[in-house]
Amino acid sequence: MSWFTLRFFREVVKPRYEFNEFVKQSYLIGYKSFPLIAITGLILGFVMTIQSRPTLAEFGAVSWLPAMVSVSIVRELGPTIFALIFAGKVGSGIGAELASMKVTEQIDAMEVSGMNPYKYIVVTRVLATTLMLPLLVIVGDAISLFGAYMAVNLKGAVSFHLFFLQVFQSLDFSDVFPAVIKTFFFGFAIGLISCFKGYNSTNGTEGVGVAANSSVVLGSLSIFIIDMIAVQITSMLYS
Amino acid sequence: MKMETTVAEITHLRKSFGNNHVLNDINFKIEKGENLVVLGKSGSGKSVLIKCLVGLLELDGGDVILFGENISGLKERELNLLRKKVGFLFQSAALYDSMSVRENLEFPLRDLKSKPKEEIDALVMEALKNVGLENAIDKMPSELSGGMRKRIGLARTLILKPEIILYDEPTTGLDPITSQEISQLILDVQKKYNTASIIITHDTECARITANQMIIIKEGLVVAKGTFKEISESKDEWISSFFNKWKE
């Protein structure tokens, strides 16, 4: 795995650059994941707000609802949940696709035609996951906050302007910036692990299932590990 | 000046997977424009042999000299340049599932960016015409039959006009008529482009049609060399068992 990772950094800077394939993968990985992230985001914000309301009401702090929900979503829940969904959808897809290519000798075919399959297949996908996940998380967070706004208005009447004014007043740089930065690492880990599992798959068609499954499991686990490290670093920097 | 006609020379080639010694001491060479058929039982290491030839598998011992260069000593970039002169038709044809037939054929040409689109299109059409499948240009691999996939795989191999083509079980899984058509196609390619070919097979009909020279592999060793006629008339019981149907 460490050799595979080192090779990524070596190949990513070396020409030739597979720009067309990168754009294609960004479309497949990013744009095609948008509906799932949007629906999940809307439900996340909606449910989170409804669940939090009774507790805040007990302390007479319902007016804090937009602030509390926005900080929870932007700092932690949004990046982690969207990354987990991304690992499930994209990670399994990449793992299975690459393993199938391996089984059907498509990767070997690229190699014997004098191409560099690692560059064409792995580098483009890892770059796409690294750059697309942060975008999806930003959009997903925004949709979650809209879901929260809808939920707030189920039992009260808060204007769109007032709700988002409270949201932006409660968020500062230290909430948004580290949360976005860590999603680059989430995306990188998901892409790299699933490519590694697919690219090195063995045992024929059985290996395809194993590659897809382990891509999701290890990708999800890596999200929690990176998150734990990121939280430690953030709290050290901003405490 | 003596013309260099040897395309590939294999000496004392050895390859093992753990304790499984697949190739023990393989020696042969192939000349320009020659079809060499490698016959052997399933699992005898025939496919391993041609994968060693293009550096897809690392050798445990011996030398593979391609176009006068020992592939073991080459850097990745040099090996990739050498591979451009070698065509490889995989057993499953190995077409790229996510690409149409046109994109499959254009893929090996990506390094020829200086060529205008019209020229690339002409090369693609020529390759498809060679295998008689011009109409399949916009189809996806999933829409093709087994025989068509093999033909498109061969077209993709031909597009770079290789000097040697390695065929891995070209007729496996095909009906007798399609098998014969593929064998004939191999012969046509040899005549048209004067390519050398190594044909891995256990199909004696394919061997009969295509072979100029043959070798038989058993337990990782070359146990027979010669023309189809010489080998099919062998007195060795094990070797002659391949050709029983020709004696009936």
Per residue in B134-191, pLDDT (tens digit) is: 888 889 999 988 888 888 988 888 888 888 999 998 888 778 888 888 888 888 888 8
Please state the rounded mean pLDDT for residues A2-13.
Answer: 87
Question: In the prediction, which pLDDT does A214 show?
Answer: 93
Predicted confidence band of residue B1 (pLDDT cuts 50, 70, 90): very low
Domain enclosing residue A191, as ranges:
2-238
* CATH for the B1-85+164-169+196-248 domain, from 3.40.109.10, 3.40.50.300, 3.40.309.10, 3.10.580.10: 3.40.50.300
Q: Are A33 and A132 in contact (CB under 8 A)?
A: yes
Question: In the prediction, which pLDDT does A230 show?
Answer: 93
Per residue in B36-90, pLDDT (tens digit) is 999 888 888 888 888 998 888 888 888 888 888 888 888 888 888 888 889 898 8
Question: In the prediction, which pLDDT does B206 show?
Answer: 87
Please state the rounded mean pLDDT for residues B215-233.
Answer: 87
What ipTM was predicted for this assembly?
0.82
Higher pLDDT, B189 or A182: A182
Q: Look at chain A and report how many structural domains it folds into.
A: 1
Higher pLDDT, B56 or A137: A137
d(CA A31, CA A40): 15
Please state the rounded mean pLDDT for residues A208-218.
Answer: 93
The model carries a pTM of: 0.84
Q: Tell me what the pLDDT averaged over chain B comes to.
A: 85
For tokens 């932006």, the residue is A168
Say which range, A79-88, A109-118, A123-132, has the weakest mean pLDDT.
A109-118
d(CA A114, CA B84): 6
Q: Chain A neighbours among B 152-171 (CB < 8 Å)?
A: 156, 160
A13 interfacial to chain B (CB closer than 8 Å) = no
A101 interfacial to chain B (CB closer than 8 Å) = yes
Q: Chain A neighbours among B 34-93 (CB < 8 Å)?
A: 51, 54, 56, 80-81, 83-84, 86, 88, 90-92
Question: In the prediction, which pLDDT does B2 show?
Answer: 44
DSSP one-letter code for B242: G
Please state the rounded mean pLDDT for residues A51-80.
Answer: 88
A239 interfacial to chain B (CB closer than 8 Å) = no
Q: Which long-range contacts (CB under 8 A, 24 or more apart) does B16-24 make?
A: B16/B60, B21/B220, B22/B48, B22/B220, B23/B48, B23/B49, B23/B52, B23/B220, B24/B219, B24/B220, B24/B221
Which amino acid, residue B194? N
Report CB contact under 8 Å: B160, A111. no
d(CA A124, CA B1): 49
Minimum Cα–Cα distance from A102: chain B residue? B94
Please state the rounded mean pLDDT for residues B201-214.
Answer: 87
Question: In the prediction, which pLDDT does B111 show?
Answer: 72
For tokens 């689109």, the residue is B117
Predicted confidence band of residue A136 (pLDDT cuts 50, 70, 90): very high
Most confident of A136-140, A166-170, B207-211, B238-242: A136-140
B174: tokens are: 């095909």
Residues of B in contact with A109 (CB under 8 A): 88, 90, 94, 96
Q: Considering CB atoms only, which of B81, B84, B94 is closest to A109?
A: B94
Minimum Cα–Cα distance from A109: chain B residue? B94
* B58 Cβ contact partners less than 8 Å away, ≥ 6 residues apart: B52
Report CB contact under 8 Å: B83, A112. yes
Report CB contact under 8 Å: B108, A116. no
Q: How far is residue A65 from each of residues A52, A54, B30, measured CA to CA in Å?
A: 7, 10, 79
- Paired with B226 in beta bridges are B214
Length of chain A, in residues: 239
How many angstroms away from the CA of A7 is the closest CA of chain B? 13
d(CA A138, CA A180): 8
- Determine what percent of chain A is predicted with pLDDT higher than 70: 100
Taking 60 as the threshold, does the pLDDT of residue B3 lie above it?
Answer: no
Report CB contact under 8 Å: A113, B91. no
Please state the rounded mean pLDDT for residues A203-210.
Answer: 86
Helix (H) / strand (E) containing A138: helix A124-152
Inter-chain CB pairs, A–B, below 8 Å: 49
Predicted confidence band of residue A216 (pLDDT cuts 50, 70, 90): very high
A47 interfacial to chain B (CB closer than 8 Å) = no
Taking 90 as the threshold, does the pLDDT of residue A183 lie above it?
Answer: yes
